Amino acid sequence: MGLGFLDADGVLAGAVQVPSPNCDERPEHSLVTLLVVHNISLPPGEFGGDAILRLFTNSLDPAAHPYYEALRDLDVSAHFLIRRDGELIQFVPCAKRAWHAGPSSWQGRERCNDFAVGVELEGCDDQAYADQQYPRLAELAAALRGRYPIVDFVGHADVAPGRKTDPGSAFDWGHFRALLARFA
């Protein structure tokens, strides 16, 4: 697969760059120590198209689908999206804070966006993820770990229990961790 170089700003060569305005500066002296795995499909349960890109760039037309009306005033983003075919898209440089975890905490530390990188997988909780997504996620996680002192890889449900369920029961953590170990 061969991901490119992750520069000092956290921009990954080899990823398609689609800049999102939904980000800001991380707090001073905040180290990236966490990777949060999410899932997204728009409309829910449907894959492909440009709706995810439009959501993260504030250009989603609420009239394009009945579900989109609920997203009208939502300003969200992630650092990365991994499509079903393994395509990697970057929305926010890792040195900046993407708006992905919302109210959250990990190991007693609040506001996970301050110290996490958010990776969206095109998918949903109860449908198998595509085979191409796991090695791409492992490769990305290894590249990020090479630049940042990431110690934990968790799901959105782990940092926002009771509020979020992704990446859901369909995500194979064992498979992901086995692939990631190959990069150690």
pLDDT of residue 1 exceeding 60: no
Tokens encoding 173: 């953590």
State the pLDDT at residue 2.
66
pLDDT on residue 5: 87
Whether 151 has a pLDDT exceeding 90, the answer reads yes
pTM of the shown model:
0.97
**Helix, strand or coil for residue 81?**
strand
Q: How far apart are CA 28 and CA 158, in angstroms?
A: 25
Half-sphere exposure of 171 (CA within 13 A, CB side): 26
- In tens, the pLDDT along 87-133 reads 999 999 999 999 999 999 999 999 999 999 999 999 999 999 999 99
pLDDT digits (tens, 9 = 90+) for 62-72: 999 999 999 99
**Domains, the chain, ranges and CATH?**
16-181 (3.40.80.10)
Residue 90 CB-density burial (10 A; 0-12 exposed, 13-18 middle, 19+ buried): buried
Mean pLDDT throughout 39-56? 97
pLDDT reported for residue 102: 96
Q: Supply the pLDDT for residue 183.
A: 85
What's the CA gap between 98 and 92, in Å, rounded? Answer: 6
pLDDT at 38 > cutoff 60: yes
Average pLDDT, the chain: 96
pLDDT in tens, 126-145: 999 999 999 999 999 999 99
User: Which residues in 119-158 are b (16+ Cβ under 10 Å) and which e?
Assistant: bbbbbbbeeebbeebbbbbbbbbbbbbebbebeebbbbbb
What is the three-class DSSP state of 167? coil
Task: Check pLDDT > 80 for residue 4.
Answer: no
Q: Among the options 25, 87, 120, 122, which is catalytic?
A: 120
The DSSP 8-state label assigned to residue 164 in this structure reads B
Residues of the chain with pLDDT > 90, as a percent, come to 96
Look up 69 and say whether it is catalytic: no
